Structure 1
Amino acid sequence: MMMRDGSDGEATTGKGTSSAAPRHRRVRRLSLFQARWLHVSALIPAALLAACGGGGEGASGTVVVVPGPSSSGTSPTPTPSSTSPLTAQQIEDQQSNSAAAANADAAYLAGATGRGVKIAIIDTGITPGLTEFSSRIDPASADMAGTRGLTDPSGHGTLMASVALAARDSRGMHGVAPEATLVSLNASNPATCRSADDCPASAELLIRAIDAAIDAKVRVINISATTDVTHETLIAAVRRAAAAGIVTVISAGNNDGDARQPLLLSRSFAEAAPGWVIIAGGHDMSGAFDYQLANRAGGSPAAAWYLTALSRDVVMTDRNGSLVRYSGTSPAAAAISGAVALVAQARPNLTGAQIVTLLLANATDAGTPGPDNVFGKGILNIAAIFTALPPAG
């Protein structure tokens, strides 16, 4: 069995770290666990979905160029206004639209950045030399196939890591938990590669990665992919993670299968470890449900653990250090994983299940009043979560 995520469509990127003038290039489909695991586009994901005998393509997402740095390597100059010029940090904060949409500033003002908290990104690997992750890639990071070291030929893993935890350093963009520690676990399968950036992931490697995350003592596992097939061995793996106190965040899917509900793997995870798994759906910057890309909450028991985060034109850092925008429930999952890390740092004595409860209970209601079959519990709201935190100690 294989899975896929999926960002379909074409992406235009602008170099975000070079001292030269920004360059743009057209990218074909980004492959996460490209092909079937996480069908990403050669650089950015947008649709998560299924394989093992089928599953259609995810809906195409529009990619918008993000302004690159000036020739001095600093952040792009903001649009002039009547107020004082923006600082480099303010510019970075504005560009970090995933964190902004989730109201992550409230956590930073409270001193929470994710420092000391491990996030496992089970994906296509990581580009280790980027400054966004300097000194924060845990030694437990590994290639589950055992042959490639730390690398990310697809680029999807690096993109997801940037949304979850890219550094808040007054350059480019930052992740939701900008000082969290990354455990990068590459579950793409080299035995099934069709090209360097097109390697589906196997269920066996996904299970191996979940167990490696348990051994690394992470607080949250991010799986920016899903499929419309499940199996007891996969379900047993997520139960082991829950028993170890780990929260798992998995994408709902990108308008795939029966888009009125999350794909089967996501539902099976949530129902197998109730209270320990969050299914990530998507909304746009206006707060409207991203129906063109995201599978809805649905009416199954799994809807009780469905939460939306920004999934439309999300700013990310790619494997070359460029800023790009793309759409899908892949980055929505990464943002929610970052939020888990913020709470885990702020209140280290909380269990994973208590953190999940805080995220879901303090979501911003959207759609039909109360939980519904579109938004599920609503929209991720870190400011409301931090207001509701129990006293420290």
Structure 2
Amino acid sequence: MTIRNLLLKSASAFAFFTLAACGGGGTGGGSSSPALNTPAPPLNNGTNFDTAEYRENSALAQMNILTAYDNGYTGNGILVAVIDSGVTEVPELEGQLHSASTNVANLDPNDADDFSGHGTAIAGVIASKRDHNTNNSPINMHGVAFDAQILNINATTSANCPDLDNCSFFHSDLANAYDYAVQHNADIINESLGSNTFPTIGLQQAIQRAVAADKLIVQPAGNIEDTDPAGTGTEIQGSARVAIANWANGQIIVAGSVDSNNVISDFSYRAGEDAKNIYLVAPGEQFTTPDHLTNNSFEYVFTSGTSVSTALISGAAALLMQAFPNLSAAEIADILFTTATDLGVPGVDNVYGRGLVNIEEAFTAQGQLSLAGNGFGETATIGTANTVASQNLIYSGGAFGADISFRDNLSNVMVTDKYDRSYNIDFSNSVYNPQAMIDLDRFMTGAMSTRRHDIIFDEKTNVRMAWQHDDRFNEIDKRYFSNHLDRHRTNTGQLRMAISHSLDNTKSVSFTAGMSLPEMLEDYRPDDYIAPNKHGFNMLLNPAETIGVSYKNNGKTTHEIAIATSEGSIPREISQVPINFQNTMVLNRIEHHFTNNLTASFDFGLLTEKGSVLGAISTGALEIGRGARTGFVGGKFNWNITNKSNIFARVSYGLTKVDGSSTSIIDQISTLKSYSYLVGVKTNGIIRNNDQLSISFSQPLKLHGGKGIISTVSNRDYVNNNYTMSYTAVPLAPRGTERDIELAYTIAEIMGVRAQVNFLYQLNPGHVQSIPNSKNILIRLGSRF
């Protein structure tokens, strides 16, 4: 007999498997039928599981089983009890049968072999071994959980099962089979049998004992026979209705069958109203399984029916159990229910119930995620699989530079989902870097498009306003595109304003908005340079959002106090959830005029940050701190060498105390040390009276001292629910040091044109060692007309 003929003959025969009621024969149901996020720890060593053996049964791909294999989960260590007509240890099941396999109907452990072929097929669907290297059959296959063990519990006798068409089981034997499975610590009980007869009290009690023992049970919905009256199968068959009992605790899954297009099989009983919440579907048509004959030489049969669907779901559950041994049977079932692919009408319905088993989704983290272990931020919730990226991030910047030196230590952070399952998340990709290089666009619209206007109210009070005015292509817009322009469009932006009032001849007070601190204090003009104004702690205030007040006592020694506050948020392209920060600075400046040409000042003050630490904004599990307080000192030096030239220098140094976060894996941050400096020279009248040459050498604000501790889970013992914690000390200072050397030459008003040339050389831009040194030259021409 050829394999093809055997296949066709066996597939036809399997349509008539029956389950008998206790004490007599019966007819009907139960015919045989054919990252997040990566769980932690991953076990796969690079094996390719997408083989011809895997593809032989398309049902595996239909349920997205490959996700489990690729993560190294194959059912190893899971014991599945198969209550059936026996299982013969054919080549595909060699070594897969548990030594305690037995026959509970005649109490003869030596009489456990298959009487009809049904039990072997079901065991093969679950656990046929993966042997593509040694089995050259063109229709070689493997089971869903090919490394699982099968506890073969034969629940019939040769007298009650002379052949496939006449096989019956006593409910008392089935009850003994359930008890036997519990006694031998089976994890899953697969009973691919069924009838329209409701289980006896004794069988119900045995199933209830299995539920109480935390066993997952999978039963078939039932097969509609050709001889059944019209309308049969609108609800699950009678033998499976124990699944809807209150005591079932959601641990009994009823399996229906779909075809390769995920359409309910013609022969499959539907879920019905009562059972729709505990009903799942899996493929159940033309599944390749091993034949049970003792002379089997890798011969196979095609099987169809809800029995196959039942076995597939049992195998899928075994994969979940291996991956997450902490889960109870009820949780395994709940995960399979809630992650199933919805079929039919939207939501749970009377045909497909909860939907098609989807192992890829079942392995994905569900619900709120929490930090695993007992380290820093213990059990803090950090979002869901869909929101974790936007709720846990670092937007680097400020003294930390354009990168985070410890980002590599964030690549393996363990979290748990709502079922307390562990997953590893690579948070190193959640570090976002501001632009490390120069911002030419901002500079291009800087000083050459700045407009200023002073309003003098009286001898004591005046208002100074400045704004950016962009009138490029203005006439073209008006002439040709006026119908398309927003009527509220304006050509002005970055409005800055200061109101100054003299209290007497020596004292004055100012109120400002939109001005940087150097502008408030009438410091040097930063417009001359491409390199942004990055020296000093004032760089941590957002000028566009800054409001401030200052009090100045003039004299040979001037004392000035300034208070400024600003706010901002992470760019929306990084996080759709608003992440805001607010900084407040109190600055005291004592400036002494040694001569008319030489002045020096001493600064000291306090910077308070909320939502950032030295300019780095962070949230959730990666929060460097909820805020920080920085005490700083600084110095300023100006020397007018001649009436056309001057030398200037700035330096600042600060100590920062970080406010710890209760949600972060980063803690025990030491006192941070940061500093910056700037030195330069300006001279006028080099070639013309209205030209200017500027040279500067500077280091932007940089963190140069301080460390923190990062806590992560290096291993989890699921059995004892213990975590092995790892605490790693990490330096927080950036790896590189940016230094900016810039030369700027400006010629004003030559035939109405203003020209400026800037040359900038940057070492380690953004304090990032890996970024090559940068050379930049910019030529600007501007005219007002």
Give the letter aligned to residue 284 of structure 1. Answer: D
Q: Does 1:283 align with 2:261?
A: no
Work out which of the two has the higher radius of gyration on C-alpha atoms and give 1 or 2: 2
Give the CA deviation at 1:192: 2.8
Tell me if structure 2 keeps the 8 A contact 1:13–1:324: no
Q: Distance in 1 between matches of 2:30 and 2:314?
A: 23
Task: Give the number of the structure whose residues are more often strand, by fraction.
Answer: 2
Give 1:1-393 correspondences, 5 Å limit: 14=3, 26-27=9-10, 30=13, 36-37=18-19, 55-56=27-28, 90-128=51-89, 130-144=90-104, 145-147=106-108, 148-170=110-132, 171=135, 172-194=140-162, 198-230=166-198, 231-255=200-224, 258-271=232-245, 272-290=247-265, 292-300=266-274, 302-319=275-292, 320=296, 321-388=298-365, 390=417, 391-392=421-422, 393=716
* Cα distance in 1, alignment partners of residues 49 and 212 from structure 2: 43
Q: Which amino acid counterpart does residue 123 of structure 1 have in structure 2? A: D
CA distance change for structure 1 residues 287 and 153 in 2, over 3 Å: closer, same or farther? same
Aligned equivalents of 2:273, 2:2: Cα separation in 1: 38
Q: 1:368 to 1:346 in 2, by over 3 A?
A: same
**Judging changes above 3 Å, is the alpha-carbon distance between structure 1 residues 51 and 351 closer, same or farther for their aligned structure 2 residues?**
same
* Matched positions, count: 338
- Aligned AA (1:239): Q
Distance in structure 1 (CA, Å) of the matches to 2:97 and 2:30: 31
Distance 1:374 1:244 in 2: 31
Task: Check 1:141–1:303 CA distance in 2 against 1; reply closer, same or farther (3 A cut).
Answer: same
Query: Distance between the aligned counterparts of 2:240 and 2:248, measured in 1?
Result: 11
Q: Given that residues 50 and 226 in structure 1 are in contact (C-alpha distance below 8 angstroms), is that contact kept between their aligned partners in structure 2? A: no
CA shift, 1:153, in A, is 2.4
23-32 vs 114-123, which moves further: 23-32
> Once the 2 structures are TM-superposed, how far is the Cα of residue 328 of structure 1 from its aligned partner?
0.6
Name the aligned partner's letter for residue 312 of structure 1. E
Give, in angstroms, the shift of residue 157 of structure 1: 0.5
1:363 shift after superposition: 0.2
Residue 195 (structure 1) shift: 5.0
Q: Identity rate of aligned residues, in percent?
A: 34
The whole-number CA distance in structure 1 between the counterparts of 2:32 and 2:317 is: 29
Instruction: Give 1:228 shift.
Output: 1.4
Q: Which amino acid aligns with 2:95?
A: S
Q: CA separation in 2, counterparts of 1:50 and 1:263?
A: 16
- C-alpha displacement of 1:197: 7.6
- 2:322 counterpart SS class: helix
Give 1:261's aligned amino acid: E
- Deviation at residue 323 of structure 1 after TM alignment: 2.1
- The whole-number CA distance in structure 2 between the counterparts of 1:238 and 1:101 is 30
Q: Distance in 2 between the 1:165 and 1:246 partners?
A: 18
Normalising by structure 1, what TM-score? 0.78
For 1:279, what is the secondary structure of its paired residue?
strand
| Farther-moved stretch of structure 1 (174-183 vs 164-173) | 164-173
**RCO comparison, higher one (Cα < 8 Å, 6+):** 1
User: 1:234 deviation in Å?
Assistant: 1.4
Distance 1:98 1:203 in 2: 32
Aligned-partner Cα distance in 1 for 2:12–2:307: 15
243 and 318 in structure 1: CA distance in 2 versus 1, 3 angstrom threshold? same
Alignment match, 1:45: none
Please identify, of 250-259 and 369-378, the stretch whose mean Cα deviation from structure 2 is larger: 250-259
The separation in 1 between residues aligned to 2:11 and 2:56, in whole angstroms, is 24
Give 1:100 deviation, angstroms.
2.3
Cα distance in 1, alignment partners of residues 32 and 96 from structure 2: 33
Partner in structure 2 of residue 80 of structure 1: none
Q: Distance in 2 between matches of 1:124 and 1:334?
A: 14
Q: CA deviation at 1:196?
A: 8.6
Cα shift at 1:310:
0.4
Kindly indicate which of the two structures has a greater share of residues assigned to helix. 1
CA apart distance, 1:58? 8.3
- 2:286, 2:164 → 1: CA distance? 26
Structure 1 unmatched ranges of 5 or more? 1-11, 16-21, 39-48, 64-86
Contact 1:270–1:279 (Cα < 8 Å) also in 2: no
1:48-78 superposed Cα distances (whole Å, 9 cap, x missing partner): x9996754588998x9xxxxxxxxxxxxxxx
**CA deviation after TM superposition for structure 1 residue 314, in Å:** 1.4
Q: Paired residue for 1:41?
A: none
Give 1:135 deviation, angstroms: 2.0
Partner SS, residue 278 of structure 1: strand
Encode CA deviations 1:193-220: one digit per residue, 9 max, x unaligned.
Answer: 4459843111111111111100110111
CA distance in 2, matches of 1:127, 1:216: 20
Give SS of 2:272's match: coil
